Amino acid sequence: MKIVLILIGFLFLIYIGTKIFPLKLKYANVFFVLTLITHVLASFSLSYIFLSISMILIGIFFLVLLYMFGL
């Protein structure tokens, strides 16, 4: 289950990264990098709590981008 959460998180981050970097949005790029660092640390720790927090951050970031840009 942990590996599935890690893979889903990285797949979402890859999708978000391909949509965000061409837009050159300063704060979106900063939040993307912070989310990426959080998910990498969560994947190394293999803690359900840390993975859940990381997935929630990725979900919020994805929904905000979906709302703002229709990505």
3-class DSSP assignment, residue 46:
coil
Q: Residue 55 has what pLDDT?
A: 87
Q: Residue 6 has what pLDDT?
A: 85
* Spans of the chain, pLDDT less than 70: 71
Q: Residue 28 has what pLDDT?
A: 78
- Measured at the CA of 60, the angle between CA 26 and CA 36, to 5 degrees, comes to 60
User: Which stretch of DSSP H or E encloses residue 7?
Assistant: helix 2-20
Q: Residue 71 has what pLDDT?
A: 59
And the tokens for 70? 């229709």
Q: Residue 9 has what pLDDT?
A: 84
